[in-house]
Each structure stands twice: as structure tokens, then as C-alpha cells.
């Protein structure tokens, strides 16, 4: 199975000022033309596979647009977690990663990323676009 990296770029000042992370977060992944959608927006649809042999591994990392801001991934919530379709864990370098469960049905899985922005938790909701 493949490893797909997802980069979360955050305008921390914009999010803190407006109180709306969804309008100040930009996601891209390493799929290139492999089916991901809405790159550069908050609701990225990351194309990934789940087969009887296992699922792709997703690695999330975050960076502030302004290097003076403190941004980190705090946790994940949503359908992806509650239905145990992918359970990410933190890595020593600050990224988070996890593998899709095997034999998932094709379709979209919503999840929420909770970021700490200068010590304040804020959330946005992208998707995994699962195929077999």
C-alpha cells in the first residue's frame, strides 16, 4: 500500500482574528493527479485505497504560513475515528500518521483535525476519498 502525505498550511493570524479556521487553512497532498480534490482548500478530499491486503497510510503535518506562529496537530475526531476506519497517532517530529483499515467500502469519510494555534484549539473538516 502507499503512503500519502498531507500538508496543512495555516494562516494562524487570520484564524485567530476571525475565529474561523476553515477559512484560513489550506491542504495539499502528494497524490498529484491520482484523484484527490479541492487541493489548496480546507476540505481536501484525499484519494486513498483500502483493499483486503490493507489500506494506504496517511501522514499529516502542519506548518504556519507565518513562521512566528505556533501551530501543531492536537488530535483527530469525526467519522474516521468513531468508526475506527483510521486511527492516527502522533510521531516524534510532530506529524501524525495511520493506516486505513482493510476492506472499507468505497466512499467519502469525514474527519476533523483539531489544531492548537498559539495554544487555542480550532477545528476543520476534510475528507478521505476511499476506493478499493
Domain count, the chain: 1
CB 57 within 8 Å of CB 86? no
pLDDT score at 109? 96
What CATH number does the domain containing 63 carry?
2.60.40.3910
Chain segment 78-129, per-residue pLDDT in tens? 999 999 999 999 999 999 999 999 999 999 999 999 999 989 999 999 999 9
Q: How are beta strands 120-124 and 96-99 bridged, if at all? A: unpaired
pTM of the model: 0.95
Which of 13-17, 32-36, 58-62 is least confident? 32-36
- pLDDT, tens digit (0-9, with 9 covering 90-100), for 41-63: 999 999 999 999 999 999 999 99
In the 8-state DSSP scheme, what is residue 37? B
Enclosing domain of residue 68: 3-131
Amino acid at each position: 500500500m502507499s503512503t500519502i502525505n498531507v500538508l496543512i498550511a495555516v494562516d494562524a493570524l487570520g484564524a485567530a482574528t476571525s475565529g474561523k479556521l476553515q477559512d484560513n487553512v489550506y491542504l495539499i497532498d502528494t497524490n498529484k493527479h491520482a484523484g484527490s480534490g479541492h487541493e489548496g482548500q480546507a476540505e481536501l478530499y484525499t484519494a486513498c485505497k483500502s483493499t483486503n491486503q490493507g489500506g494506504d497510510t496517511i501522514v499529516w503535518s502542519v506548518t504556519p504560513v507565518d513562521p512566528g506562529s505556533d501551530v501543531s496537530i492536537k488530535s483527530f475526531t469525526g467519522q474516521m475515528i468513531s468508526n475506527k476506519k483510521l486511527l492516527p497517532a502522533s510521531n516524534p517530529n510532530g506529524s501524525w500518521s495511520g493506516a486505513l483499515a482493510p476492506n472499507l467500502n468505497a466512499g467519502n469519510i469525514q474527519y476533523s483535525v483539531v489544531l492548537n494555534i498559539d495554544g487555542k484549539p480550532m477545528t476543520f473538516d476534510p475528507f478521505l476519498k476511499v476506493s478499493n
